[in-house]
Structures are given as C-alpha cells and as structure tokens.
A and B are shown apart, each in its own frame.
Chain A
C-alpha cells in the first residue's frame, strides 16, 4: 500500500514564495504517477489546481505552478495572496489506484 506524504502545515508571508511537496514511499515521484494538486477551502469541494504534474486549468491562478523536484511532486506558489490560505492535497495515481496525501494547511501570514 503506497503512502503519500505532505508537509502538515506551512506558513508564507503575503507576496512570498512557497513550495509544497508530495512524496511517495515507493520511491521517486515521476510523471507516470500523474500528480494532481487540489486546493480546498472550508466548506467547499476540492478544486483542481494542477493535473498531470504541471498542467493548469483555466481557473488556476498563474501564481501556482507544478513540477517535479528532488524526487517529489511540488506545488509552488509565487506571490502568495491572503485568499490562498487553504488546505492543499496532492494525489498520485498508482496504475489507476488513487492515493491522497494527508494535506498541507497553508497559512498566509
């Protein structure tokens, strides 16, 4: 059973840059695990920000980007805004079996 790990909490200053990571206990995260990143605010459904490692939806703010970094999937936020404060989840797909990370609580302070 794969386990996907994320930082439990991260704080960024308004206007700052932060990188959230998503690791796998099975080894390096590659594009073949089709990494996804979701943003979830209280009382709302998760919203897909990034799919397939680095692809964005039309609604994804340009300040968010996805990549592979040091054997992990990474979500970078450049120029944090107060409205970016939320929970962020990554998802890895192991031959179609989805495994979510535990989520990262991002505080903009």
Chain B
C-alpha cells in the first residue's frame, strides 16, 4: 500500500535551516510529484511547492522563493524539503503529499518544526 513516512519533529533556533524527509513506498516513486504543505498552529493549509520526482524540476510558492529547496533521492525513494532562515512564523507542521495524475491524495503523517530561541 502507498505510504509516505516523514522524519521526526525538529526544534530549531531562528536563522537556522531545517531539512524534512519523506520516504515513499508502495508505488513507483518517480511516477508522481511530491508536494509540500505546511500548517501553522490554528491555521489553514499552505502550499509550499512541488518537485517532479522523475527529473527533479521544482515549482515553489512565491512566499517561499529563495528560502525553500526541494530535492529527491530516487535511490532511496525519498523526497526532502529544506527551509532556511527560519523565523518564529515558520513554526508549523510540514506535510509531504503525493501529486500528479492519479495521485489520489496520499499524505505523510506530518513533521512538527518548532522555531524557538
């Protein structure tokens, strides 16, 4: 069955970077995109961007341009999202979600990133 398993919770200081992983199983990894979505405490869902898992091409939401980097390692069926220059406002749960034709809305379990001094 399709599974997306994300890395564990992170605590970072302002100005630092965080890298979250999302390991996929149960399907052909490179046949889909991987999207990243975040949710700040008490807020709605915010799309951050996506990566084409076949060729590595990326599209980032304007608000994250220059601060987010999405990559993948096809040898281990894992996608990564790195966010730099963290501020307190980046405290959120970060989700990976499969995208593309036939994706059917599979999501990871979420990774809590806390930015605290």
The answer to whether A102 and B44 have CB atoms under 8 Å apart is yes
CB of B54 within 8 Å of the partner chain: no
- Size of the A side of the interface (Cβ < 8 Å), in residues, is 22
Alpha-carbon separation in the docked complex, A100 to B108 (Å): 17
Q: Take A45-B109, A48-B105, A55-B104 as given contacts and tell me if A96 and B50 are in contact as well, using a CB distance cutoff of 8 Å.
A: yes
Q: What is the predominant secondary structure among interface residues of chain A facing chain B?
A: strand
Cα(A55)–Cα(B105), bound, Å: 11
* Chain A, Cβ-Cβ closest to B36: A98
Given A45-B95, A45-B110, A46-B95, does the pair A98, B105 have CB atoms closer than 8 Å?
A: no
Count, chain B residues at interface, CB 8 A: 22
Partner of A51, one of B35, B103, B110: B103
CB pair B44–A48 under 8 Å, yes or no, is no
A64 at the interface (CB under 8 A from B): no
Question: Quick check: B95 and A57 within 8 Å, CB to CB?
Answer: no
B85 to chain A, nearest CB (A): 23
A96-B33, A97-B59 as given contacts; A48 in contact with B47, CB under 8 Å: no
Closest CB pairs A-B (n = 6):
A48-B105, A98-B47, A100-B45, A51-B105, A45-B110, A103-B44
Interface residues of A (CB under 8 A from B): 1, 36, 38, 45-48, 51-52, 55, 57, 89, 91, 93, 96-103
Known contacts A1-B62, A51-B104, A52-B104, then 15 further A-B pairs from the complex at CB < 8 Å, ordered by chain A residue: A38-B45, A45-B93, A45-B109, A45-B110, A46-B95, A46-B107, A47-B107, A48-B104, A98-B35, A98-B99, A99-B47, A100-B44, A100-B45, A100-B46, A100-B47
